[in-house]
Structure 1
Amino acid sequence: MSNSRPNARGCCCHSSRKDSAALPDYPTFHGVLDTIGATPLIRLDRIYDRPETDVWAKLEGVNPGGSAKDRTAAALFADATENGRLIDVDSIIESTSGNLGIALARQALLAGLKFHCVADPNINQPTKKTMQALGATIHVVNEPDPTTGDWLTARKAMVDRLLKEIPRSATFDQYANRAAFSAHSDGTMREIVDALGVPPDFLLVAMSTTGTIGGCRQYLRRIDAPTRVIGVDAEGSVLFGGKRGPRTLPGFGAGTEPELASHAQPHEVVRISEIDSIVGARKLARSEGILPGASGGAVISALDQFLPTIPPGSTVAVVLHDLGHAYLDTVYDDEWVQDTIGVTPAELAELVSRQIGRYS
């Protein structure tokens, strides 16, 4: 008789002990890619003084690559493999601000492929070093697009050049590839609904390629849920009618509206400034002990704006795309904030303290 028992992720737990039935059911996996998904949903009960409203956070930073983009990379690879687009391919080339690059670097490594990441100067250095540690080659564009002033346009142009220069290469084009929707429809959103037992009344999701919010909306439409989906965008982003402007925090917002956006319209969009994103991130860290990335900070600040209008008794879910370890030199660095955003350490401390309120 086998001592293997299925666990929540569908793998088996193995033990050499004859009395394994009495042991705790700790999961084992065939490889690191099997740990993608099934991320925890955590109730935020310290950050908001409103016990009649349940606020839950989907903690995507516990994926093996540290972000929701692990799901996206797995879906992109699975779709390309199933449709034969990786036959005779040796190299993957993709434009990314960082998180997808980490995920694709690992996927490519384990598939025996080379990965070329096209980034811009706003990439976090820890993220860049993580990709290099996984064997990726980093190509950094030096100037934004001369016509639009947009870094993403410049990155996509470099991808096109590299595809011509590097033999047997291919790109997934994360900005147009609808496989990204399945990662978050069948994964992120389904997991939230399964964990809660019902769809949340409100869902807040930061946006960039719009793959996450599009996938979440896809699942909610499939089950005919009344959930109101709020897209969180960066000031200076052009998504859904936004006005182009300078942006220094990677991970959310876009300088060019991606093709996926036409299938991912949220019910409402709120645009968050960089300083509010920073304050939101620090607020969550100081109150709940959760260190989010820049987009997570933006989601928390967006929720601060919406919470007073949300009816008592509502259930709210937010997606925290990544954790803040790659942002220690930016979002969580007082000197960087002063030099880049123009807010002094004293002013920043006051803003955070004011937001934390009774939990300071």
Structure 2
Amino acid sequence: MIDINKKASNGEVPREGVLDTIGSTPLIHLCRYLGTADIQLYAKMEAFNPGGSAKDRPARAMIEEALRAGTIDRNTTIIESTSGNMGIGLAQACCYYGLPLICVVDPFAQEQNVAIMQAYGARIERVTRPLQGAFLKARLARVMELLNEIPHSFWPNQYANIKNPLSHEQGTVQEIDEALNGEIDYLFVATSSTGTARGCRDYLQKRGRRTKVIAVDAEGSVLFGGLAGRRRIPGLGAGHVSVLAAGQKFDDVKRVNDLDCVVGCRRMVKYEAILTGGSAGGVLEAIRAMIPELRTKVCAAILHDSGTRYLDTIYSDQWVESELGCSIEKLQARIEQPGQAGRVAGQRGSRFTPHLREYVKEHATI
């Protein structure tokens, strides 16, 4: 019999099921994206989770906690509102544990995401009209109806469940912090339920880190006192302030629009050969807009998912032109435009090694 506790030559130990592969995602040094050598930027690649996004972490945590507590069993129907990634994370976890799942989605959910949920066995409920101007409110109203209609049903409630931020506090940010030896000046996080940003902030505060946590929100999002407006990129911003989001404060909030997200995604492909999801593009452009104040700093960004689920939208020239009113020529100009071009003379205190500085000079000049 094979001793599964014995490490292989590469240090790997077999995992106990697919959910055990969640976490320990790569942290990648982005040498080219910003077009400057005096900022260290690291990207936490959550697309490497088995379900393809950062939402795998809270999805697993919420389901396993409910199973441990006896709140649910194999006869329980799980019901959740989702714009896509949480639905996939829950679909995978529910499939693994043999739990029926209903995902409530709206018209902005990517069809590929919906197809993945269905492939895992999830039932899809669609809302087609916003409630009081917000599709999130409409999704939540439908969740309430289903909970009343279906006996022995359970709502994990990603918008209020403390396991959401805890999964990031005990996983995502801890992995980043340990990889960078606690030396992080800025951490950039996309916000929607605010679970990721809240968990990261709590971890860093408890350890006395001086890291500034920057929440990246969408224009048209009502979070942090914003005004409701049209948004086309799922997973970034919210039309309703959730329990987890209420009263939350971060060191700063940066707002990005839909086109910023597209530019960030396209630029990431061009200069780093990485296909990122919509919210990641927004995060990256928020960083690029802050180049003057980030010089000599160590920055980390959590990139929530992959661009493979946005091929028909963000990576489609036709969609960008028809939905966002941006011609391909204008889009290309935005992609190639320097963020805040030019170095600031006399900068001191950079943590780059001479070797790394020379490498970036050679390879990252844009």
Scaled by the length of structure 2, the TM-score of the pair is 0.90
- 1:176 corresponds in structure 2 to 160
- 8 Å contact kept, 2:217–2:223: yes
Q: Deviations over 1:60-102 (max 9, x none)?
A: 0000000000001011112222322114742100000000000
Alignment of 1:175-254 (within 5 A): 175-254=159-238
C-alpha separation in 1, matches of 2:321 and 2:96: 41
Post-superposition shift, 1:2? 7.3
- 1:100 corresponds in structure 2 to 86
SS of 1:259's equivalent in the other structure is coil
- 2:99 corresponds in structure 1 to 113
C-alpha separation in 2, matches of 1:172 and 1:155: 14
Query: Given residue 183 of structure 1, which amino acid in structure 2 is its aligned partner?
Result: S
- 1:72 corresponds in structure 2 to 58
- 1:330 corresponds in structure 2 to 313
C-alpha separation in 2, matches of 1:113 and 1:265: 36
SS of 2:217's equivalent in the other structure is strand
C-alpha separation in 2, matches of 1:3 and 1:84: 33
- 8 Å contact kept, 1:213–1:264: no
Query: 2:19 matched to 1:36?
Result: no
The counterpart of 1:134, out of the listed 94, 117, 120, is 120
- 1:347 corresponds in structure 2 to 330
Q: Which moved more, 1:79-88 or 1:298-307?
A: 79-88
| Matched pairs, number | 343
The counterpart of 1:278, out of the listed 255, 258, 262, is 262
The counterpart of 1:50, out of the listed 33, 36, 39, is 36
- 1:266 corresponds in structure 2 to 250
SS of 1:261's equivalent in the other structure is coil
SS of 1:295's equivalent in the other structure is helix
SS of 1:260's equivalent in the other structure is coil
- 8 Å contact kept, 1:39–1:62: yes
- 8 Å contact kept, 1:92–1:169: yes
Alignment of 1:158-169 (within 5 A): 158-169=142-153
SS of 2:289's equivalent in the other structure is helix
- 8 Å contact kept, 2:38–2:295: no
Where does structure 2 lack aligned partners over 5 or more consecutive residues? 342-363
Query: Given residue 324 of structure 1, which amino acid in structure 2 is its aligned partner?
Result: G
Q: Deviations over 1:211-250 (max 9, x none)?
A: 0000001101110111101000010000011111011110
The counterpart of 2:69, out of the listed 80, 83, 87, is 83
Q: Which moved more, 1:347-356 or 1:130-139?
A: 347-356
Query: 2:284 matched to 1:300?
Result: yes
SS of 1:184's equivalent in the other structure is helix
- Alpha carbons of 1:301 and 1:30: their partners in 2 closer, same or farther (altered >3 Å)? same
- 1:321 corresponds in structure 2 to 304
Q: For the aligned residues, what is the CA RMSD?
A: 1.8
Scaled by the length of structure 1, the TM-score of the pair is 0.91
Post-superposition shift, 1:24? 3.1
C-alpha separation in 2, matches of 1:2 and 1:143: 56
Query: Given residue 175 of structure 2, which amino acid in structure 1 is its aligned partner?
Result: E
Post-superposition shift, 1:349? 1.7
C-alpha separation in 2, matches of 1:199 and 1:24: 28
- 8 Å contact kept, 1:44–1:56: yes
C-alpha separation in 2, matches of 1:290 and 1:88: 39
C-alpha separation in 1, matches of 2:159 and 2:328: 37
- 8 Å contact kept, 1:235–1:272: yes
- 8 Å contact kept, 2:42–2:300: yes
C-alpha separation in 1, matches of 2:281 and 2:338: 12
Q: Deviations over 1:268-322 (max 9, x none)?
A: 101101111100111111111111100000001100111211242x110000000
The counterpart of 1:61, out of the listed 23, 47, 62, is 47
Between the aligned residues of both structures, percent identity stands at: 42
C-alpha separation in 2, matches of 1:163 and 1:289: 44
Query: Given residue 91 of structure 2, which amino acid in structure 1 is its aligned partner?
Result: A
C-alpha separation in 1, matches of 2:116 and 2:4: 34
- 8 Å contact kept, 2:35–2:365: no
Where does structure 1 lack aligned partners over 5 or more consecutive residues? 6-11, 15-22
- 1:18 corresponds in structure 2 to none
